[in-house]
Amino acid sequence: MAVTTKTFAAIGAVAIVAIAVVVAKTQTAKLDVPSVVPVQAVGTGAAVPAAATHPKRKLLFFMNPDGIPCQTQWGLLNNVADSLLKVADVVYIKTTEPADYPKFEAFGIRGLPSLVITDENGRELSRFSPGIQPADAVLAALTK
């Protein structure tokens, strides 16, 4: 049996959908528990508990909560929440929150997920290329 371009494309499409479904199902339970990584949504005034955070660094997580790559990144960060909260405040900046839109513009965010590390005054210290980042790389960048 010869594999044609159409057959190959169909197999690829089915594989992508299957992977997306598996990732979504495995990450959903973690994503529904916002207390794992406290959320400080821009514009809401919600505070992250001071005892659990580093006062000098912030990890800005620019995300679309409905997007599979962003959900995957969220799950990776949730997996290291204890270590993460020792070195930084985590701030979720979401495409679903109109009050967050100015932050996307201010930091020139064009691809998601995007992670930016800032100091306590909001001055950018470093950023990752858009896309899913390994948790250990994020922790390493925060502790430099």
pLDDT in tens, 63-77: 999 999 999 999 999
CA distances in angstroms from 93 to 48, 51, 81, 101, listed in the order given? 14, 22, 17, 8
Question: Do residues 85 and 37 touch, judged by C-beta distance below 8 A?
Answer: yes
Residue with tokens 């502790």: 143
Superfamily name and number for 5-142 = Glutaredoxin (3.40.30.10)
Is pLDDT of 36 > 50? no
More confident site: 43 or 25 = 25
Q: Among the residues of the chain, which ranges form H helices?
A: 5-31, 68-79, 81-87, 101-106, 135-142
Share the mean pLDDT of the chain.
75
Mean pLDDT of 20-49: 38
**pTM confidence score:** 0.64
In this structure, what token pair is assigned to residue 144? 């430099």
Q: Domain locations in the chain?
A: 5-142
